[in-house]
Structure 1
Amino acid sequence: MTEAAILDDLDEKTTAIVNAARTTFLARGFDAASMDQIALTAGVSKRTVYNRFRSKEELFGAAITETCKHLLPVNVSDIEDTLPADELIRALSRLFVQGILEPEALSLRRIAAFEAERTPAIGQAYLEHGPASLVAECAPILARLAARGCYSIEDPEAAIWQLGALITEPLHTRILMGDMPNDLDAAIDHQVEKGVAAFVKIYRV
Structure 2
Amino acid sequence: MAKVAVMDDLDEKTTAIVDAARTTFLARGFDAASMDQIALTAGVSKRTVYNRFRSKEELFGAAITETCRHLLPVNVSDIEDTLPPDELIRALSRVFVKGILEPEALSLRRIAAFEAERTPAIGKAYIEHGPASMVAECAPILARLAARGHFEIDDPEAAIWQLGALITEPLHTRVLMGDMPSDLDAAIDHQVENGVAAFIKIYSPKN
The normalised TM-score by structure 2 is 0.94
* 2:71 counterpart of 1:58: no
- CA positional deviation for 1:70: 0.4
Moved over 3 A (4+): none
Counterparts of 2:81 and 2:66, CA distance in 1? 27
Q: Matched residue of 1:178: which SS?
A: coil
Q: Deviations over 1:157-183 (max 9, x none)?
A: 000000000000000000000000000
- Structure number with greater Rg is 1
User: Which residue of structure 1 lines up, in the alignment, with residue 150 of structure 2?
Assistant: 150
Q: Cα distance, 1:46 vs. partner?
A: 0.4
- Of residues 79-88 and 111-120 in structure 1, the stretch that sits farther from structure 2 once superposed is 79-88
Give the letter aligned to residue 58 of structure 2: E
Higher relative contact order, structure no. (Cα contacts within 8 Å, ≥ 6 residues apart): 2
Equivalent runs, 1:33-182 vs 2, <5 Å: 33-182=33-182
Distance 1:74 1:182 in 2: 30
* One-letter amino acid of the counterpart of residue 159, structure 1: A
Aligned letter for 1:12? Answer: E
3-state secondary structure, aligned to 1:74: coil
Amino acid across the alignment from 2:189: D
Distance (Å, rounded) in 1 between the aligned partners of 2:79 and 2:120: 38
For residues 79 and 100 of structure 1, what CA distance do their matches in structure 2 show?
Answer: 20
Question: How big is each residue's C-alpha offset from its partner over 1:25-79, in whole Å with a ceiling of 9 and x where there is no partner?
Answer: 0000000000000000000000000000000000000000000000002311101
Partners of 1:105 and 1:73 in 2: how far apart? 16
Percent of aligned pairs sharing the same letter: 91
TM (normalized to structure 1)? 0.95
Deviation, 1:82, is: 1.3
Give, in angstroms, the shift of residue 81 of structure 1: 1.8
Q: Which moved more, 1:109-118 or 1:72-81?
A: 72-81
| RMSD between superposed Cα atoms in Å | 1.0
Residue ranges of structure 2 left out of the alignment (5+ in a row): 1-7
Higher mean alpha-carbon deviation, 73-82 vs 43-52, is at: 73-82
* Paired residue secondary structure (2:11): helix
Q: AA paired with 1:32?
A: A
Q: Who is 2:4 aligned against?
A: none
1:145, CA displacement in angstroms?
Answer: 0.2
The number of residues matched between the two structures is 197
Task: Indicate the residue corresponding to 1:5 in structure 2.
Answer: none
